[in-house]
Amino acid sequence: TECSPPTAAANVSQYACLRRTTTENHNKIFTDVLEELAENSEFNESKGPCLAFRRAASVLKSLPSAVHCLGAIQGLPCLGEHTKAVMEEILIFGRSFKVEEVQSDERYQALKLFTSVFGVGPKTAEKWYRRGLRSLKEILAEPNIQLNRMQRAGFLYYRDISKAVSKAEAKALSSIIEETAHWIAPDSILALTGGFRRGKEYGHDVDFLLTMPEMGKEEGLLLRVIDRLRDQGILLYCEHQDSTFDMSKLPSHRFEAMDHFEKCFLILRLEEGQVEGDGGLQKDPGESRGWRAVRVDLVAPPVDRYAFVLLGWTGSRQFERDLRRFASKERGMCLDNHALYDKTKKLFLPATSEEDIFAHLGLEYVEPWQRNA
Ligand code: DCP
Ligand code: MG
């Protein structure tokens, strides 16, 4: 059949921050496969191929319509030979043999299963695999394995926290935490961030920022919120990290490095009656208890860093990576969750809103719901 390249192809940028990507993905049949290949590369510590597959998936997510032939992707950035070969297989056979090979690989299956447990990263998963372990049951039955506190919580609430969190559940948690924070400090500010701020219907956790309108007043607030959640009987697990934020340090080049603000990783108990709408609580059919466990992240930056943290925690990961890459490669600037630094002028660029940061970078503002790269 006739196939002409989309006229828009020439205008698609290699940077996700110069594209607009909503939650509506017209090329899911390709991006699901490419992301699975990226994950496999990550398990094999092939950083280059991993990034290449993720970038390719991200470009395809930004397209306004489905790709029906290879001609349609001519001129698009970030689509390498491997990606094109995978796409060709899917276009011709309706499936990818390459990804099926990966999916049937014993090591891939085990690492994917192990890393699905809260608190288990690729290193631990690899260690368990090398010991010959293949299932979660085998790990729990192995007497020589010492699980840390986070991993024990991960196994304890595995069924609940591997189930997606709905928007209605995120809203319910938002009300609960907001009420708790306001009970302690009436002028505290709570903001929903992460995937739900980008308009996603489901997420793996719920991410919030918590701060105070006056500098320094945020100190101690997070710990008091945690105590109050515990008193209410809804705190199932809490890992609290103190702030290691140092104003004088330059922004970090390493994307994967965690930011330095005070934060906590929680598992909260959400009651059925607290969730509005027909969906109600996301749980197994036949599950009789009227509550579920949900993963929640709370970050508590000082208010003068608020815009940077909001931008950093809204994501997507690919959008964040490209914002930083753009800042560095195209502007000679350094951006992270704490600050924006102009390396030529040797100057920190202050910001009170996300719009300020885009403006400093000479970028058109991209709305949160357009950052699903
Ligand atoms: N983030 C960060 N540093 C970290 C962890 C996350 O800067 N150590 C940022 C990038 C993410 C955002 O926070 O896009 C939220 O992280 P999540 O892993 O919760 O990702 P999402 O909310 O986008 O997706 P999900 O629906 O899986 O929760
Ligand atoms: Mg999230």
Q: Which residue, 137, 156, 175, sits at the end of a domain? A: 156
User: What ipTM does the predicted assembly reach?
Assistant: 0.96
Based on the fold, state whether residues 296 and 172 are members of the same structural domain.
yes
Helix (H) or strand (E) segment spanning residue 342: strand 340-342
Q: What is the CATH number of the domain that holds 16?
A: 1.10.150.110
Helix (H) or strand (E) segment spanning residue 266: strand 262-271
The count of structural domains within the chain is 4
Q: What is the CATH number of the domain that holds 224?
A: 3.30.460.10
Which tokens hold the place of 92? 């011709």
Let me know: does 324 contact 359? Beta carbons within 8 Å. Answer: no
Q: For residue 93, report the distance from its CA to the centre of ligand 1, in Å.
A: 34
The four Cα atoms 94, 96, 100, 102 give a dihedral, to 10 degrees, of: -160
Single out the catalytic residue among 160, 205, 259, 322: 205
Q: What share of the chain is helix, strand, coil (3-state, %, to 5)?
A: 45, 15, 40
pLDDT of residue 307: 98
Q: For residue 310, report the distance from its CA to the centre of ligand 2, in Å.
A: 13
pLDDT of residue 256: 56
Residues of the chain with pLDDT under 70: 1-2, 4-10, 253-257, 278
Q: Which residue, 88, 121, 156, sits at the end of a domain? A: 156
Q: For residue 348, report the distance from its CA to the centre of ligand 2, in Å.
A: 29
Q: Which residues line ligand 1 (CB under 6 A)?
A: 194-195, 200, 203-205, 207, 258-259, 312-313, 315-317, 320, 337
**Given ligand 1 and candidates 255, 313, 320, which is best to mutate, with the most ligand atoms within 8 Å of its CB?**
313
Q: What is the CATH number of the domain that holds 358?
A: 3.30.210.10
Give the structural domain span for 333. Answer: 311-370
Residue 77 maps to a domain: yes
Q: Which residue, 304, 335, 355, sits at the end of a domain? A: 304
Based on the fold, state whether residues 95 and 123 are members of the same structural domain.
no
Based on the fold, state whether residues 149 and 171 are members of the same structural domain.
no
Residue 366 maps to a domain: yes
pLDDT of residue 5: 60
Based on the fold, state whether residues 330 and 223 are members of the same structural domain.
no
pLDDT of residue 147: 98
Cα separation of 86 and 34, whole Å? 8
Cα separation of 303 and 221, whole Å? 13
Based on the fold, state whether residues 172 and 192 are members of the same structural domain.
yes
C-alpha separations of 365 from 21, 198, 234, 336, 357 in Å? 13, 14, 38, 17, 9
pLDDT of residue 4: 61
Is residue 231 flagged as an active site residue? Answer: no
Let me know: does 327 contact 361? Beta carbons within 8 Å. Answer: yes
Based on the fold, state whether residues 297 and 183 are members of the same structural domain.
yes
Residue 151 maps to a domain: yes
Residue 1 maps to a domain: no
Cα separation of 370 and 373, whole Å? 8
Residue 2 maps to a domain: no
pLDDT of residue 320: 98
Based on the fold, state whether residues 38 and 138 are members of the same structural domain.
no
Q: What is the CATH number of the domain that holds 114?
A: 1.10.150.20
Based on the fold, state whether residues 360 and 293 are members of the same structural domain.
no
pLDDT of residue 249: 80
